[in-house]
């Protein structure tokens, strides 16, 4: 038997929702896996573990509905294991009295749920053929992507609010635009908030945020399990209570693998044994009880190169549980001006400010992005160009300084 869909709090009818999006089940994690296959495998499993945790949370919190605002899968052709996993998890929620309302996003736009069979009882997929469903006296409205890229706003095609009902909208959108995200179904935030719904449950942008405008709340829950350092501000879902007045929200931390950047100064290490001891101390400090961690090491050294430090870190991590190496980034310590190597580095840094150089670099970056898988493209946007160039110069500087010490 399904539980009553409306909670009663302080004498008011209250509907509680668990809102999530951008699960990206089946994401190949190629960029990470190329550097560290073990970390790639752990990230794939972490996405599944996190979705199972979302279902656990929905059940334990006795929410009235689970809302998934798109990109549940990473593409429109998920493997059978990923689809079976989704069905089994949604069935757990359904059996506990928690219905699910969902839409397709740009990543899983081509997924034809009917072609693969029903997702199960009490699972409602909203699309242009069925844009509205009523659950517990609340009207849920949503439109799914039916192509991988949509350049126009979906908002004019959304149903008007149902009079006398709470109205909740699901939309997968880049809104007015967000750094690191191409414009997908763009929609002006002010138009969204003025549409007449009580609550908007949004997806697509992987960093969480909320917007309040009078009695209207919009929630972007973010990616529940980040896949790389560019998404490390994610790792949340949102619980929303819809009653009288403005809906109330609470972010909940979730996820099974976090990301940490650690600084490590090896300038004073005279030999390899000292480097190993320093690495062990730093990597041990990155352990977090109950969660795995991917670590990016920022090393300062004028004699220990990136390749050597990476090899030693991998060796150290063989005996440390729950910590994975993402990458090592090295730079020499600051030096007094005047050295020939520093003069060369300054010349390279000056070149970065030249318009011609920057335009050529941006063109090459865009050509590279177009040839890469989508999850690597997300890491190589214009905003990251300066960091890439500085990292390259730091590596050259480290090599030059190491040669000068010989």
pLDDT in tens, 381-392: 555 656 666 666
pLDDT band at 106 (very low <50, low <70, confident <90, very high): confident
pLDDT value for 69: 96
Burial of 110 (0-12, 13-18, 19+ CB in 10 A): middle
The DSSP code for 68 is E
pLDDT band at 300 (very low <50, low <70, confident <90, very high): very high
pLDDT band at 311 (very low <50, low <70, confident <90, very high): very high
pLDDT value for 185: 76
First to last CA, the chain: 77
C-alpha to C-alpha distance for 109 and 132, rounded to whole angstroms: 18
Residue 52 has pLDDT above 50, yes or no: yes
**DSSP letter string, 14-40:** EEEEEEE----BT---HHHHHH-HHHH
* Number of other residues whose CB lies within 10 A of the CB of residue 378: 20
Mean pLDDT for 268-287 is 95
C-alpha to C-alpha distance for 112 and 323, rounded to whole angstroms: 38
Tens digit of each residue's pLDDT (9 = 90 or more) over 55-94: 999 999 999 999 999 989 887 676 788 888 999 999 999 9
* Number of other residues whose CB lies within 10 A of the CB of residue 317: 20
pLDDT value for 346: 65
Residue 191 has pLDDT above 70, yes or no: yes
Residue 339 has pLDDT above 80, yes or no: no
Q: Is the dihedral of CA 319, 323, 326, 332 positive or negative?
A: negative
Q: By C-alpha distance, which of 234, 232, 227 is closest to 203?
A: 234
Residue 298 has pLDDT above 70, yes or no: yes
pLDDT value for 8: 41
Q: Is the pTM of this model over 0.85?
A: no
pLDDT value for 363: 75
Lookup: tokens for 103: 């839409």
Average pLDDT of the chain, as a whole number: 84
SS3 state at 23: coil
C-alpha to C-alpha distance for 189 and 10, rounded to whole angstroms: 32
SS3 state at 137: coil
Mean pLDDT for 318-324 is 95
Residue 365: enclosing H or E segment and its boundaries? helix 355-370
pLDDT value for 9: 41
What percentage of the chain exceeds 70 in pLDDT? 75
* Number of other residues whose CB lies within 10 A of the CB of residue 401: 20
Residue 250 has pLDDT above 80, yes or no: yes
Out of 107-121, 282-296, 338-352, the most confident range is: 282-296
Tell which wins on pLDDT, 378 or 122.
Answer: 122
Q: Phi/psi at 19 (nearest 5 deg)?
A: -110, 130
Q: By C-alpha distance, which of 11, 1, 12 is closest to 242?
A: 12
Residue 344 has pLDDT above 70, yes or no: no
Q: 196-205, 319-328, 349-358: which has the minimum mean pLDDT?
A: 349-358
What percentage of the chain exceeds 90 in pLDDT? 53
Q: 25-39, 127-141, 326-340: which has the minimum mean pLDDT?
A: 326-340
Q: 254 near 226, Cβ under 8 Å? A: no
Residue 310 has pLDDT above 90, yes or no: yes
SS3 state at 303: coil
pLDDT band at 152 (very low <50, low <70, confident <90, very high): confident
Q: What are the chain's domains?
A: 7-253 (3.60.21.10), 258-405 (no CATH)
pLDDT value for 282: 97
């Amino acid at each position: 038997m399904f539980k009553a869909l409306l909670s009663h709090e302080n004498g008011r009818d209250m509907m509680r929702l668990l809102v999530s999006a951008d699960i990206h089940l089946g994401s190949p994690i190629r960029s990470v896996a190329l550097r560290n296959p073990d970390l790639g495998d752990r990230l794939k499993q972490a996405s599944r573990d996190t979705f199972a945790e979302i279902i656990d949370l929905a059940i334990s919190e006795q929410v009235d509905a689970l809302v998934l605002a798109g990109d549940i899968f990473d593409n429109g052709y998920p493997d059978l294991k990923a689809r079976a996993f989704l069905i089994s998890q949604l069935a757990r929620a359904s059996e506990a009295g928690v219905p699910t309302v969902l839409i397709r996003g740009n990543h899983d736009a081509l997924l034809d749920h009917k072609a693969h069979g029903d997702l199960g009882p009490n699972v409602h997929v909203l699309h242009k053929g069925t844009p509205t469903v009523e659950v517990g006296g609340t009207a849920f409205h949503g439109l799914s992507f039916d192509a991988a890229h949509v350049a126009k706003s979906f908002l004019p095609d959304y149903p008007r609010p149902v009079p006398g009902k709470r109205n909740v909208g699901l939309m997968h959108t880049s809104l007015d635009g967000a750094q690191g995200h191409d414009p997908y179904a763009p929609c002006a935030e002010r138009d969204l908030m003025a549409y007449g719904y009580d609550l908007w449950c949004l997806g697509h942008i992987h960093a969480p945020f909320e917007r309040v405008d009078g009695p209207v709340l919009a929630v972007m829950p973010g990616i529940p399990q980040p896949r790389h350092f560019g998404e490390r501000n994610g790792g949340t879902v949102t619980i929303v209570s819809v009653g009288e007045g403005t809906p109330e929200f609470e972010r909940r931390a979730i996820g099974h693998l976090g990301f940490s950047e650690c600084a490590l100064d090896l300038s004073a290490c005279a030999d390899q044994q000292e480097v190993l001891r320093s690495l062990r101390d730093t990597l041990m400090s990155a352990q977090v009880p109950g969660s795995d961690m991917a670590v990016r090491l920022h090393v300062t050294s004028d004699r220990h190169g990136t390749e050597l430090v990476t090899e030693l870190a991998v060796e150290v991590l063989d005996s440390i549980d729950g910590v994975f190496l993402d990458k090592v980034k090295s730079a020499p310590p600051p030096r007094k001006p005047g050295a020939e190597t520093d003069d060369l580095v300054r010349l390279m840094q000056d070149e970065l400010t030249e318009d011609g150089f920057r335009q050529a670099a941006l063109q090459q970056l865009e050509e590279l992005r177009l040839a890469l898988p989508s999850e690597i493209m997300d890491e190589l946007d214009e905003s990251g160009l300066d960091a890439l160039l500085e990292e390259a110069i730091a590596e050259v500087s480290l090599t030059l300084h190491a040669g000068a010490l010989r």
